[in-house]
Structure 1
Amino acid sequence: MVQVINQLTSVPFLGVGIGYRQELKQETLRSHAKIDFLEIITEHYTNNSRMLAELEEICALFPVIPHGISLSIGSMTPLDKQHLRGIKRVCEVTQAPYYSEHLCMTKAPGIDLGHLSPLWFTEEVLERVIQNVLFVQEYLERPLVLENVTYYFDIPGNHMSQTEFFNRLVAATNCGVLLDITNVYINSVNHHFDPLNFLDQMPLEHVVQVHLAGGYWLNGLLVDGHSEPVQEESWHLLQALVDRCQVKGIIFEHDTNFPPMELFLQQIQRAKQIIRKDKGA
């Protein structure tokens, strides 16, 4: 446990980067001087020797953080040990200072949900997640950094808020937080709460990394589509966050409807100006 704590506090400043996508491969490589680091989707590289070889080439140009989408840290079923072995291999190739995933569930007994489903915030689920996080951190030999997800309906039967769940989880495991600013904004719009109050209730001293993306409206809901430029409200929340805590890295996510690389670089530059002010530059 002490080793994991030390690893989390010694995570280097990473700067501002983007989520690496094959559709943007050539533009990303050509722009490497303007992109501080990359975040990859881990599952694209596990059990795939060709992709692992490509990953080694990417790591020669950029610091790389692996980000998972299917560990299902909140499931009541056992974690997939084969998947964990693949994750560990990717972490070793990238020499990542931490591994990030979503605080959610993607699997139920006999079912692959195919979605980042929110958790029930109950004592039983909290205890299970604590056990899973401790196991994963020990197995991977690096801190686990967990991301807040969007949800589009309130799950009945919660015993605590999302922020209380995060605080108690962090206190028990010393894991890190990947604060998705856009998810905070989207949830605040769809569920009518104050996003600044949400930030103030989170364990900000454990925030390591930030996600920013753009959403769209569908049937009266704001959807986390990773398909549009970052909304101005999310930029305001980013500024509010860096006014409150130190952030080691910011990643822009885009999964479809890809804009020209120039737009990514403009967003990166804007975020760099914000985070540099936080560092007193």
Structure 2
Amino acid sequence: MAVHPTPHLGVGLGWRAEIDTVVERLPGLDWVEVVAENVCAGHLPESLRLLRARGVTVVPHGVSLGLGGAEQPDPARLARLAQTAEALGAPLVTEHLAFVRAAGLEAGHLLPVPRTREALAVVAANVRIAQRELPVPLALENIAAHLSWPGEELTEGQFLAELVERTGVRLLIDVANLHTNRVNLGLDVAAELDRLPLEAIAYVHVAGGIERDGVWHDTHAHPVGEPVLEVLAELCRRGVPPGVLLERDDRFPPPAELAGELDAIRRVIEGVPHHV
């Protein structure tokens, strides 16, 4: 199925209420992403209204649809996501390729989907439902995982590529999550990037983490390190994505440090040697 290219987004930052005034004042910021469940379509934060008035693109990023589960997407959640996208004038919406609930019980975490052909069929059906209800294109994000399911038939890259082929969904590639899975699960990042349909990539996430006792924790609370930037560079060597966004959810640094991390991302995109 054909995938229409995403508009150019540039370099962006995850908007969080704790740093709303910082985000407003950062120079050279092209766009922002907001957690969809944290805003109300009818009462957008003043900071987001100011950014939109300046022409800054705002993309809603959902965390609760659970498109990787056996149950169909909840109509109320889909309707709320659609309303948020319309209120923000967003060019697309994004969600996670993850399992989050079953029989009314919440997992409390983004859990990996078994990479089997049976699971692929279920996810594809759920994606088509979401696509019908959303007013703009949908992109799905690869998640960080601490386990792999037994009996998997596809690699992560193969699963995503086949999902794109079946549904035309776009991809949000999180290079920090790829690094996490490399450390924790032995993922061959270069091989998986080779399997991805580059034309389907809507944008890329970059985030910091920390390694403890041989396990990488994708904290979104630490500076972006060299290994994650190296994965971004590996991806960019195959083709520069339409957008790259820095995520930070806790332990927010001073504005100058945030700006420095954004500059490091820009240097990778531009092919200039970077130092962190």
Matched, 1:26 2:21: yes
Structure 2 residue aligned with 1:36: 30
Structure 2 residue aligned with 1:238: 232
Structure 2 residue aligned with 1:141: 135
1:42-53 pair list within 5 angstroms: 42-46=36-40, 49-51=42-44
Q: Which of 98, 117, 130 is the matching residue for 1:123?
A: 117
**Contact 2:21–2:47 (CA under 8 A) maintained in structure 1:** no
Partners of 2:258 and 2:46 in 1: CA distance: 26
Q: Secondary structure at the match of 1:18?
A: strand
* 1:236 CA drift (Å): 1.4
For residues 130-171 of structure 1, the C-alpha deviation after alignment (integer angstroms, 9 at most, x for no partner) is 111112112113221111101112212322221111111000
* 1:273 CA drift (Å): 3.0
Partners of 2:170 and 2:47 in 1: CA distance: 28
Structure 1 residue aligned with 2:268: 274
Q: Secondary structure at the match of 1:160?
A: coil
Structure 2 residue aligned with 1:217: 211
* 1:78 CA drift (Å): 2.1
**Contact 1:211–1:251 (CA under 8 A) maintained in structure 2:** yes
Q: Which of 1, 8, 11 is the matching residue for 1:13?
A: 8
Partners of 1:74 and 1:182 in 2: CA distance: 20
1:242-257 pair list within 5 angstroms: 242-257=236-251
* 1:55 CA drift (Å): 3.7
Structure 2 residue aligned with 1:97: 91
Q: Which of 181, 186, 193 is the matching residue for 2:187?
A: 193
Paired residue type of 1:270: A
Structure 1: segments with no counterpart, 5+ residues: none
Structure 1 residue aligned with 2:108: 114
Partners of 2:45 and 2:17 in 1: CA distance: 14
1:202-213 pair list within 5 angstroms: 202-213=196-207
Could you tell which deviates more after superposition, 107-116 or 157-166?
157-166
Partners of 1:91 and 1:164 in 2: CA distance: 29
Partners of 1:152 and 1:194 in 2: CA distance: 15
For residues 210-251 of structure 1, the C-alpha deviation after alignment (integer angstroms, 9 at most, x for no partner) is 101111123431111101111101111111111102301111
Partners of 1:19 and 1:85 in 2: CA distance: 23
Paired residue type of 1:267: E
Q: Secondary structure at the match of 1:178?
A: strand
Could you tell which deviates more after superposition, 54-63 or 260-269?
54-63
Could you tell which deviates more after superposition, 234-243 or 192-201?
192-201
* 1:267 CA drift (Å): 1.7
**CA distance 1:54–1:214, change in 2 (3 Å):** closer
Matched, 1:263 2:257: yes
Q: Secondary structure at the match of 2:228?
A: helix
**Contact 2:11–2:245 (CA under 8 A) maintained in structure 1:** yes
Q: Secondary structure at the match of 1:73?
A: coil
Structure 2 residue aligned with 1:80: 74
For residues 20-68 of structure 1, the C-alpha deviation after alignment (integer angstroms, 9 at most, x for no partner) is 011111111122x42111000000114x643466543432232111111
Q: Secondary structure at the match of 1:243?
A: helix
Partners of 1:143 and 1:255 in 2: CA distance: 25
Partners of 2:47 and 2:205 in 1: CA distance: 24
Identity across the alignment (%): 32
> How does the TM-score come out when normalised to structure 2?
0.92
Paired residue type of 1:272: R
* 1:87 CA drift (Å): 0.5
